[in-house]
Amino acid sequence: MSSALLETTQNETLALHGGQPTMTQTLAPRQRWGAQEHAQLGEMLEQSSLFYLNGAQTKLLKERFHQHYPLDYIMPCSSGTAALHIAVQAAGVGLGDEVITSPITDMGSVIGILYQQGVPVFADLEPHTYNLDVEDVRRKITPRTKAIIAVHLTGNPCDLDALKALCDEHDLVLIEDCAQAWGAQYRGRPIGTVGHIGCWSLNDFKHIGCGDGGMVASSDERFGPLLQKFGDKCYDRTGGQLPATLAPNYRISEPQSAIAAVQMEKMWDWTQTRADRGRQLSQLLQDIPGIHPHFADERDRWTCWFYLLRIDPEVLSCDLKTFAQALAAEGLAGHPGYIGTPVYSYPLFQNHHIFGERWPVKEMGLTDMDYTKVTCPEAEAILATCLKISIDETTTPEWVEEAAEAIRKVAAFYRR
């Protein structure tokens, strides 16, 4: 930026201080449901049963899912959290087994580990993709490590080749948490098909959804045949109902499947818009001092469930809260800090109150994990400096241009 331009931008009056707001564009409300979903529900109500097994709607959902994710074994289930629990159980995680994952994620990524009496191990993140740092994952591997859960945060693919190589080297299971990554691709391959097991969420807030629901799928013969059983009370629906082990009831319902089957047909177009707008915003933010754009490898399809930028406190004189307030005054809402604190800082981890006020695995001496001593410096720095900006399929190029201008204006004003 030239000195003349810098002086001009720094002299612009922020809307926070009475200046003219930057944003003039408004976005149309999201229309997530419509005539197609209504018609599909009408067909469903003609059925004699709404049970998932062999149900017409669940069959249709599996067929449409398979068109995008050509995996051999597909189990629709009640939530993304359920999908991950099924995957963890299929992977054989048990007493004291360690599973390495991200400290910036939803609790759903770790609930299944804990219920299987496993131990979540949190690895640090890359500074601008917000995904697992492969070298820190390597450092966290121990003889107790059983699996890695790669969280594709915001639909930005993790470094799957490197993580898969680590798993092959140490005989680990790679589970992909694709809850935020519908339509994402890693080097041309659909996210969820590179690891051993893929998990997706159909929660109301994801790219596509049916209120709550999930998918878990695999082509690995060691794990695929277990998915249906571990989501359905360990009933073998092909040869009898004599459970061989304990498993929860995570079945999807036909109404959920009906909605999700229609949503699957919208998924690609909706995620393409998000992908385009996310890339556009990153490009426009490239050369703004004090701003670190969200980085996604150009070889991948990043489907931008939301956009996460970082401010640089060495360059800007304001804190994150002030920056967010100034942006809001310009007409651009941003949520500072995303989840606020790393997962390992949540009270249940800090107090080791995993089951009520107890953690049997630790009481039995099967782990020496002490979450009060866990730290992931980069993840903590990310949450202290990141700002979440919402992007969806209604976002227009013009809106993104104004959003970038608002960010530029605020960053220029607070530049040291």
Return mean pLDDT, the chain. Answer: 96
Is the confidence at residue 236, as pLDDT, over 60?
A: yes
**What backbone torsions phi and psi does residue 135 show, to the nearest 5 degrees?**
-70, -35
- pLDDT at position 270 is 98
**130 touches 385 (CB < 8 A):** no
Is residue 11 pLDDT above 80, yes or no? no
The pLDDT tens digits for 136-180 are 999 999 999 999 999 999 999 999 999 999 999 999 999 999 999
Inter-residue contact 233 to 243 (CB < 8 Å): yes
Is pLDDT of 278 > 70?
yes
When pLDDT is cut at 50, 70 and 90, the band that residue 4 belongs to is very low
361 contacts: CB under 8 Å, gap ≥ 6: 95, 96, 117, 118, 119, 354, 367
The pLDDT value given to residue 238: 83
**Paired tokens of 378:** 């980069």
CA distance 241 to 292: 55
- Is pLDDT above 70 for 250? yes
Return the pLDDT at 60: 98
Residues 253/57, Cβ–Cβ less than 8 Å: no
The 10s digit of each residue's pLDDT in 298-314 is 999 999 999 999 999 99
How far does the chain reach from its first CA to its final CA, in angstroms?
14
Distance CA 14, CA 337 (A): 22
Q: List the strands of the sheet with 73-77, edge to edge.
A: 73-77, 214-218, 197-201, 173-177, 145-151, 98-101, 119-122
Q: What is the distance between the alpha carbons of residues 207 and 182, in angstroms, rounded to a whole number?
A: 6
**CB-based contact 223:205 (threshold 8 Å):** no
Question: What's the confidence (pLDDT) of residue 286?
Answer: 96
Encoded amino acid at 378, one letter: E
Task: Taking each helix axis as running N to C, give the angle between helix 35-44 and helix 254-284, from 0 to 180 degrees, rounded to the nearest 10.
Answer: 160
Residue 388: pLDDT over 50:
yes
Q: Where are the beta strands (DSSP E) in 243-359?
A: 291-292, 307-311, 335-336
Task: Say if residue 76's pLDDT is above 60.
Answer: yes
pLDDT of residue 241: 77
Residue 2 has pLDDT above 90, yes or no: no
pTM for the complete prediction? 0.95
Distance CA 212, CA 255 (A): 11
d(CA 257, CA 192): 20
The domains of the chain are located at: 35-263
Binning pLDDT at 50, 70 and 90, where does residue 5 land?
A: very low
Asked if 303 contacts 241 with a C-beta cutoff of 8 angstroms, the reply is no
Of the pLDDT bands very low, low, confident and very high (cuts 50, 70, 90), residue 10 is: low
The whole-angstrom distance between residue 238's C-alpha and the CA centroid of its chain comes to: 33
**In a 10 Å sphere around its CB, with 0-12 CB exposed, 13-18 middle and 19+ buried, how is residue 186 labelled?**
buried
State residue 404's pLDDT score: 98
pLDDT digits (tens, 9 = 90+) for 172-221: 999 999 999 999 999 999 999 999 999 999 999 999 999 999 999 999 99
Using DSSP's 3-state secondary structure scheme, residue 85 falls into: helix
pLDDT at 239: 78
What number does CATH give the domain 35-263? 3.40.640.10
Positive/negative CA dihedral, 195, 390, 121, 351: negative
In this predicted structure, the answer to whether residue 7 has a pLDDT above a threshold of 50 is no
Amino acid in the structure at residue 49: S
| Rounded mean pLDDT, 12-26 | 95
Check pLDDT > 70 for residue 395.
yes
Query: What percent of the chain is modeled with pLDDT above 70?
Result: 97
Contact 68, 190 (CB under 8 A): yes
- Number of other CB atoms surrounding residue 70 within 10 Å: 12
Quick one: tokens of 2?
């030239």
Q: How far apart are CA 18 and CA 7, in angstroms?
A: 19
Residue 147: closest CA among 190, 178, 116: 116
Task: Tell me if residue 9 falls in helix, strand or coil.
Answer: helix
Q: What is the pLDDT of residue 148?
A: 99
Taking every pair of Cα atoms in the chain, the longest distance, rounded to a whole number of angstroms, is: 78
* CA distance linking residue 275 with residue 212, whole number of Å: 24
Residues 6+ positions from 216 with CB-CB distance below 8 Å:
74, 75, 77, 82, 83, 84, 86, 87, 197, 198, 199, 200, 227, 231
Eight-state DSSP code of residue 23: -
Phi/psi zone of residue 155: left (φ > 0), alpha (ψ -120 to 50 degrees), beta?
left
Alpha carbons 41 and 37: distance in angstroms, whole number? 6
Tokens of 402: 């104004």
